[in-house]
Structure formats: structure tokens, C-alpha cells
Structure 1
Amino acid sequence: MSIGAKVKRFRETRGLSQDELALRLDVAQSTISSIESDKNIPNSLLLNKIARELEVDINELLNEGIQVNISNNKFSDLSSAGTINQYNPVFNMQSPEIAESILKNQEQLTKLIESQTKLIENLFKK
């Protein structure tokens, strides 16, 4: 089941209209509509707000039969087909590979910012 379908199901279970949920989240009704129709996927901040407003764990919106037990770094696959939802992966943030990837990305961003700063300085010199 998609994130949009889950949002709709949980919203309807709480007896909320799209307008009411949008008002509570401080977004447009069209935002809720586009999420529920899977035209847009909410960013992590909005998804977190949606989960809190609908009183569900964010993993219930993200997971499709996958449970993550971060305390012992193990994945438990509960799906009948045994597949991980490729569109909404859940990562163990304690993974050394992910930490290394994040550090590399931060290093690249730092280099880009330094390069941009030099370009701006050169523009002001002219």
C-alpha cells in the first residue's frame, strides 16, 4: 500500500476531511489531495507532521511489511512477498555505510561552497 493510500486510510479512520487535516498541518487541501492520490510524496518533515496528527508511528506510513529494529541492527521482513518497498526504503541510521556516505556528501558540499565563495569574491573584484 502506498504512502498516499495509508494517509487516506488513517485520515478517514480519524474522521477527518482533507480540509481538516490540511488546516491542522498548515498546508493547502490540494497538498493532501496530491499526497493521497500519489501525485506527490511528502518530504520527511511533512510526513512526520502527518504521522503525529494522525496519531500513527511514521514507520506505519513508510513501511510496506518491513519492520526495523534499530536496537540490534536487524531487519525483519514481514511482507508476504519478501520484498522491500523500493520507493520508501527505511534505513538503519546506525549503518557505517550510510554514515560514510553522509560524510562524503558533506565534504563535497563544503568544497562546492568554497568554490562558490571564490567565484563570488572574484566577481566582486572585477
Structure 2
Amino acid sequence: MSIGSKVRQYREAKRWSQEDLAVRLDTTQTTISNIESDKNIPNSLLLNKIAKELEVDINDLLMDSSNNIMTNNEFSDHAVAAVNQYNPIFNIQSPELIESILKNQDQITKLIESQNKLIESLLKKG
């Protein structure tokens, strides 16, 4: 069962509408709807808030009843796999990523230089 299905199940057990849960979480009904329909996966902070509001263990939302997210204060292999399915792993040394970072740094440098010229011209006028 998906995280969204479990959120819906626990929410409905409390006889809350999506709007009721959204208000309790300081979010929108659309966010709750997207989570429950598996269009969005909540980040860890929101997932923790959901578990607290619904008064369920976060393990119940993340895993089947037989698979706990943590055992002896270590993440289980199942938990790591569950998280990784939503978070692609990036090779931080890939040439494409390095090239993109350098390009962004170059653009930032140009923006700063442009900003400095603008400030200088404004100061000269003042």
C-alpha cells in the first residue's frame, strides 16, 4: 500500500476531510490530495507532521507492517530502498554536473559584476 493510500486510510479513520488535515498541517487541501493520489511524495518534515497529526508511527506510513524503517537506531535496507526510489542518486563527480556548476558560477559572477556597475553608476549620480 502506498504512502498516499495509508494517509487517506488514517485520515478517513479519524473522519477528517482533506481540508481538516491540511489545516492541522498548515498546508493546502491540494497538497493533501496530491499526496493521497500519489502525485507527490511528502518530504520528511511533512511526513513526520502527518504521522504526528494522524497519531501513527512514521513506520506505518513508510512500510508494510512487517518492515520497520529503523532497527537498533539504524535505517533498515528496506527503508533505504524506499527512500531511494524517490530520490535519484547523482554522481557528484559527473562531468555534466561539474560543467553545470561552473556555468552557474560564471553566470553568478557576471550578475555580481553587473550589479556592481549599476551601484557604481548610481553612486556617481548621487
TM-score, structure 2 normalization: 0.60
Match of 1:98 in 2: none
CA 1:70 to 1:19, structure 2 compared with 1: closer, same or farther past 3 Å?
A: same
Match of 1:94 in 2: none
Larger Rg: 2
4+ runs of 1 displaced by more than 2 Å?
72-76, 114-123
What root-mean-square deviation, in Å, do the aligned CA atoms of Structure 1 and Structure 2 show? 3.7
| Percent pairwise identity | 49
Q: CA deviation at 1:6?
A: 0.3
For 1:1-126, what aligned pairs fall within 5 Å after superposition? Answer: 1-64=1-64, 65-71=66-72, 73=74, 75=76, 84=78, 89=82, 112=101, 120-121=108-109, 124=113
Q: Quote the Cα distance in structure 2 between the aligned partners of 1:26 and 1:74.
A: 29
CA contact 2:35–2:41 (8 Å) conserved in 1: yes
CA 1:5 to 1:75, structure 2 compared with 1: closer, same or farther past 3 Å?
A: same
Structure number with the higher helix fraction is 2
Q: CA deviation at 1:12?
A: 1.1
Q: Quote the Cα distance in structure 1 between the aligned partners of 2:82 and 2:31.
A: 22
Q: CA deviation at 1:16?
A: 1.0
TM-score, structure 1 normalization: 0.60
1:13-48 per-position Cα deviation (integer Å, ceiling 9, x unaligned): 122111100111111111111111112111111111
CA 1:115 to 1:68, structure 2 compared with 1: closer, same or farther past 3 Å?
A: same
Q: CA deviation at 1:121?
A: 3.8
How many residues align? The count is: 104
